[in-house]
Amino acid sequence: MQLQDFKSCLAEVYQGEVVGESAFDNMLGVVENREQRYIVASLLQFETEAKAIMRPVLYQYELPVNDAAQGYATGQAASDDLNQLPWKDRFEALQNLIASQYLPRYEMLETLVDPSQNKQAAEVARFMAEHERRILKVMENIVRGVDNPAEPIVQLLSHPLPRFE
């Protein structure tokens, strides 16, 4: 039973990444300056890298590794609405969404896998919980007006974007 729970939670978290990638891709179309572009492109990169990190474990459990068009459409539609909001309000809305809906599921994933049974899956689950906490931190930083708000995710990127001062 736990394996089924793990697999469905894993697939759900992966879909969350597809939705997030699509939403930040769409948001890049409405950035207003170089700083906003760096933040949103770094968020996009963070979601893309998370998909790559998760994909071997999805494959191992014979879950679909193609990006469901539905997830992409969901992300585009959600960000069409979000993008109407001013910059800080947009991230406050995202902060609330992540804290209430996404983070609990991402943190649950970790509890559904036994590291002695599958070390790689446990490491990916632990990484994804940290991934989502870092995203939440970036949203909080933007809302509070902290300098260099994307730093918590940039630290975890394997392929960070160049920063032009």
Query: How many Å apart are CA 18 and CA 81, to the nearest integer?
Result: 18
User: Please, what is the minimum distance in Å from the beta carbon of residue 131 to Fe ion?
Assistant: 6
Residues 13-32, interacting with Fe ion (CB under 5 A):
17, 20
Q: Amino acid identity of 46?
A: F
Query: How many Å apart are CA 154 and CA 165, to the nearest integer?
Result: 16
Q: Is 109 helix (H, G, I), strand (E, B) or coil?
A: helix
Per CB under 5 A, the segment of 25-33, 45-53, 72-80, 150-158 that binds Fe ion is 45-53
User: Please, what is the minimum distance in Å from the beta carbon of residue 1 to Fe ion?
Assistant: 27
User: Please, what is the minimum distance in Å from the beta carbon of residue 165 to Fe ion?
Assistant: 27
Per CB under 5 A, the segment of 46-54, 64-72, 85-93, 109-117 that binds Fe ion is 46-54
Tell me which residue of 139, 158, 136 sits closest to 45, measured CA to CA: 158
User: Please, what is the minimum distance in Å from the beta carbon of residue 12 to Fe ion?
Assistant: 12
Per CB under 5 A, the segment of 11-19, 56-64, 68-76, 116-124 that binds Fe ion is 11-19
Per CB under 5 A, the segment of 5-13, 26-34, 40-48, 155-163 that binds Fe ion is 40-48
Residue 152 binds Fe ion, judged by CB under 5 A? no
- Residue 118 tokens, joined: 């599958």
Residue appearing with tokens 């939440």: 136
CB distance 58 to 64 below 8 Å: yes
What's the angle, vertex CA 43, arms to CA 100 and CA 129, rounded to 5?
Answer: 45
What's the angle, vertex CA 8, arms to CA 7 and CA 10, rounded to 5?
Answer: 65
Give the nearer residue to Fe ion in terms of CB position, either 50 or 121. 50
In the complex, the residues that contact Fe ion under the rule CB under 5 A are 17, 20, 47
